[in-house]
Chains A and B, each alone.
Chain A
């Protein structure tokens, strides 16, 4: 079938405003009465607040008010309500907001913020997930079991740092180990890191005289912001309006509320005047939630021929000082713990624990990024133990339709995709068979490593999205959805889906980049690589609804029944006589006869779609149906290691994933490349470094390094297209997936080249040197 828009390289609708610098973000909009809020954050990782002296700051020019935790005591959280927006009595991480200065000008607020003196009684800090699990560990929260649960499926344990515990019990472990002829084990550590979106977080709030709360924010979840602000500030839902313009990158970090609570409190304290809070890069890194930490142990059993027989997985997820989405991400790791491999006997214990680090929230991959590293490093170890090609080992065990997932979900070609085809294509793309470990002279070794991944979302079982399609009199349409444009060209993809279903040119579909919760229909959140599917289905339904209306009006005018009519290229015509037609423009605002009589009225299509058949995981066995479908893929990295000083270059990075159907190839390639770049950053340099007092050391981009243009490898991207039968045109989510296994592929290559097992990231040359020195002794 020949498509108009689907599968074409469509220029994104926001391209021109972005490349010319005209695009406006939350902090770019100013009004004459705007006040500014500047945060004072904790320099202590764990401590009791003894006193806060703001007497001098209060008298500084322009200062309107200064808020501390007692101003509006409230506990927030999307899973467990454990976090005060301003620390109350106690601080639990370096960077935690403690006071908020509201002043006429931002410089005045910052000058006053510098004069606030906070005195702490320092407490012993919890510095890692493993430390948090020790029986004598200091407690980050005294009574985690007493916090209000937002969802029932979260299990904090009294007298411990454990927020959540999830289990997978599948098959017969005794049989699995008995059948094993080779067993390998590995322990892995992945530190916390930052999302590093180009746009630091910002939020503006005002409270109108009649109590309405108007919020502008850089968020992935305007409808979640509306709901939680309504709940925590006791204002009816409809009286809260949330506006989200373009968002300059989010990667999960803007899916939960952070500055929004503070902006509303600030506005409340100054009689509702608008207050803007915008993070500096440094505040965004230390204060706002980041990526989780993971300590993992994996034990795999296999037969001599490589067939996997048993897998035991232990994950300790460090969610930092507050739960946020940590428990959900822990579920995510457990539910897909095996990676995309066929394995009947699975045992997984995943704990989510508090530490005294910046709290964690969703991060590209939603736990899979860290989990996949551990799984894929273990697969390489198994290949070495079996003396098998690591690609062949993965190919042999690649999960196929008919098998079940760790949560016992029956897998089909539609909900699983085709991993073996991805592996085969990758093999060609990276020229795997030329060799994986080659000396190229001059102290240089070239090596190739690979990894596989799979991922589905772990959304609320009732997550839904809606769409409204409003026809203009010229036959073009306005598409209204609640999805936020956070970067991946979501609105353009949705416009393509609509254009295709309405048989219109993409230029005749108009989208608005801003979301306004009073104007746009609902969307769960723009997260989990789900928008093409979830919002896309709503768009399809809205298109169908609109087309029925067009057919109904046209049928009257053309004096045929609707089923005799067909649509194409902005026309509705009689099937047996295509010359007998009407333009959409003739009917979408009603058809006017020559005598003035008019039939029909404006065509407005509506559609809504809810996640099908989802159910939470069982507390004891993990059985459940947490996500709608998988996206699998295979990745490889080629590196060159200098064995004289262990510096290395990343030469090529490749991904082949089962995209179901690629809707916009250029945009999709960009997304997968960007995700690979992000994962290679985590593999090679990005990590938060804490000192012995758990104070964050690399709080700016001077010392927290991200990959620069000149350090990027050549990126290779290709697709397999196995239709996902419940999704528009068969598409699978792919916005996160390029990140998932790429750091594992990098470290597999580095381990091979250096001849040592490297089980942590990021891999600095010094780490390779250290591992080699350790091996010598």
Chain B
């Protein structure tokens, strides 16, 4: 039960959504864009979110598109994790999506919601960080196509009233060798102790991580060390770990020391399996 009333809107175009947001904001409704709603509902019932209006983007055709166009794959922000997994255009993303929450929730969680929610893990972003993806952002100032690294740094940086419409990935990335490993405290379905996505591009490994810091990340510095073939694998990993962008956390999911142990062991098998 959600102990407050809110209005529900379902615009049918990007422009309509943006205009609605501005209007509702002026009226003091504190509007939020709505994908699958899993966080809004679960936070709403715990009184952890207050909004007077939600704008569901799933009736906007661009937001639910998922197709190969010319040289790239287009995925709308309103596509659900289940749809991504089932379509399997991008196997690494499909796998990462299928390990977020459980199947029932994957039927609801959208790509955009996984990127922009409050849960810090955002595991569906990891494959996109490796694949030089682009995001189509819409907002009061119109639409813009931006490389992912200009939109995402620790979190998705959107201005007020903006939302992600689509994500694009160039076709060659869809079929490169990859590894996805998720480890939890114990259960198959849980927040990650750590999740690693790895992709082999031009004989170099790229890696993106979730669960190690308060944000998902890809670190060029760590990748340099991991790709330094002059050193043995153990040393490469040891050097890479020095460059982690945060201190490993001690939390309910596990201690820093245990994370380090699991991370080192998983990186070693990934490097071996991808032959880098």
Residues of A within 8 A of B (CB): 106-108, 110-111, 114, 280, 282, 644-645, 647, 684-685, 689, 697-698, 702-703, 705, 708, 710-711, 762, 764-766, 769-770
If A110-B1, A280-B45, A711-B187 are given as contacts, then 6 extra A-B residue pairs at C-beta distance below 8 Å, sorted by A number, are A107-B2, A110-B47, A644-B265, A705-B190, A708-B187, A769-B261
A765 CA to B259 CA, complexed, in Å: 11
B189, CB-defined interface residue at 8 Å: yes
Give the contacting residue for A766; candidates B4, B187, B254, B266; CB below 8 A: B254
Chief secondary structure at chain B's binding surface? loop
Supposing A110-B1, A282-B46, A645-B266 touch, asked if A766 and B183 sit within 8 A by C-beta, the answer is no
Q: Which of B1-18 contact A (CB under 8 A)?
A: 1-4
A705 CA to B252 CA, complexed, in Å: 12
A287 CA to B164 CA, complexed, in Å: 41
Whether the pair B186, A705 counts as a contact (CB closer than 8 A) is yes
Whether the pair A645, B183 counts as a contact (CB closer than 8 A) is yes
Among residues of B, the one whose C-beta sits closest to the C-beta of A691 is B252
Min CB–CB distance B185 → chain A (angstroms): 6
A645 CA to B193 CA, complexed, in Å: 12
Whether the pair B3, A766 counts as a contact (CB closer than 8 A) is no
B87, CB-defined interface residue at 8 Å: no
Whether the pair A708, B258 counts as a contact (CB closer than 8 A) is no
A244 CA to B189 CA, complexed, in Å: 35
Min CB–CB distance A84 → chain B (angstroms): 26
A762 CA to B45 CA, complexed, in Å: 30
Cβ contacts under 8 Å, B188 to chain A: 708, 710-711
Cβ contacts under 8 Å, B185 to chain A: 685, 705, 764-766
B243, CB-defined interface residue at 8 Å: no
Number of CB contacts from chain A to chain B under 8 A: 58
Cβ contacts under 8 Å, B261 to chain A: 645, 769
Cβ contacts under 8 Å, B2 to chain A: 107
Whether the pair A766, B255 counts as a contact (CB closer than 8 A) is yes
Give the contacting residue for A111; candidates B4, B186, B254; CB below 8 A: B4
Cβ contacts under 8 Å, B186 to chain A: 684-685, 705, 762, 764-765
B262, CB-defined interface residue at 8 Å: yes
Whether the pair B258, A114 counts as a contact (CB closer than 8 A) is no
> 8 A–B contact pairs at CB < 8 A?
A644-B265, A644-B269, A702-B191, A708-B189, A710-B188, A764-B186, A766-B185, A769-B261
Give how many B residues have a beta carbon under 8 Å from the other chain's beta carbons.
Answer: 25
Q: Which of B64-123 contact A (CB under 8 A)?
A: 102
Whether the pair A106, B1 counts as a contact (CB closer than 8 A) is yes
Whether the pair A114, B183 counts as a contact (CB closer than 8 A) is no
Min CB–CB distance A86 → chain B (angstroms): 21
Cβ contacts under 8 Å, B187 to chain A: 685, 705, 708, 711
Supposing A644-B265, A645-B183 touch, asked if A766 and B47 sit within 8 A by C-beta, the answer is no
Closest 4 CB pairs of A and B: A110-B3, A111-B3, A766-B258, A705-B187
Min CB–CB distance B254 → chain A (angstroms): 5
Cβ contacts under 8 Å, B265 to chain A: 644-645
Supposing A114-B47, A647-B183, A764-B185 touch, asked if A703 and B252 sit within 8 A by C-beta, the answer is yes
A237 CA to B221 CA, complexed, in Å: 76
Cβ contacts under 8 Å, A769 to chain B: 258, 261
Whether the pair B266, A114 counts as a contact (CB closer than 8 A) is no
Cβ contacts under 8 Å, A698 to chain B: 252
A647 CA to B190 CA, complexed, in Å: 14
A769 CA to B47 CA, complexed, in Å: 39
Among residues of A, the one whose C-beta sits closest to the C-beta of B2 is A107
Min CB–CB distance A707 → chain B (angstroms): 8
A78 CA to B45 CA, complexed, in Å: 34
Cβ contacts under 8 Å, B190 to chain A: 705
Cβ contacts under 8 Å, B1 to chain A: 106-107, 110
Min CB–CB distance A727 → chain B (angstroms): 40
Min CB–CB distance B85 → chain A (angstroms): 16
A684 CA to B187 CA, complexed, in Å: 9
Min CB–CB distance A107 → chain B (angstroms): 5
A764 CA to B253 CA, complexed, in Å: 10
Cβ contacts under 8 Å, B102 to chain A: 708
Among residues of A, the one whose C-beta sits closest to the C-beta of B190 is A705
A413 CA to B54 CA, complexed, in Å: 68
Min CB–CB distance A754 → chain B (angstroms): 14
Min CB–CB distance A153 → chain B (angstroms): 40
